[in-house]
Amino acid sequence: MTRKQRRMTMIAAAGGVLAVAVGLILVALNDQIVFFQSPSDIVGKQLPDGQRIRLGGLVEEGSVERGANAEVRFAVTDTVESVKVVYVGLLPDLFREGQGVVTEGVMKGDGWFHADNVLAKHDENYMPKEVAEALKGKGVWQGKE
């Protein structure tokens, strides 16, 4: 085997190992990757059962209902469409109607988005980047550029 053939063999072997490593990383991250969606993005779509997504928008005015056992039902809107959300647990202190919110969970066949994590904005100047981009895309952004 010539020196050039050995070098090409080593490069091919390193490329194969790198491809396997990247494949294993992608398989491992497949369950961890959560895509952000606005209400307009998911209304009318059939999302696969159990697919985790982040739903972001504004908490719709007059939609917050508190039930038994710390269950809270509200709607997230991008002012074009809205999605009903159910969440069981303690909400962040800054959670209120008309404010930006990002929820993480799954859409189920009952038409409700079942959130297991709710994030609210932390001051008056902050809006989650994904929510701001979604609102700008819909042409309803009213904040500073």
Domains in the chain: boundaries: 1-33, 34-120
In the chain, the percentage of residues whose pLDDT exceeds 90 is 34
What is this structure's pTM? 0.66
Among 48-52, 107-111, 120-124, the least confident range = 120-124
**Residue 122, annotated as binding a ligand:** yes
Domain 34-120 CATH (choose: 3.10.20.30, 2.40.50.140, 2.40.160.20, 2.60.130.10): 2.40.50.140
Q: What is the pLDDT of residue 18?
A: 97
Backbone angles phi, psi at 41, to 5 degrees: -70, -30
**Residue 87, annotated as binding a ligand:** no
DSSP class per residue in 11-35 = HHHHHHHHHHHHHHHHHHHTTT--E
What whole-number distance in Å separates Cα of residue 108 and Cα of residue 101?
20
Q: 103 pLDDT band (50/70/90 cuts)?
A: very high
Q: What is the pLDDT of residue 1?
A: 84
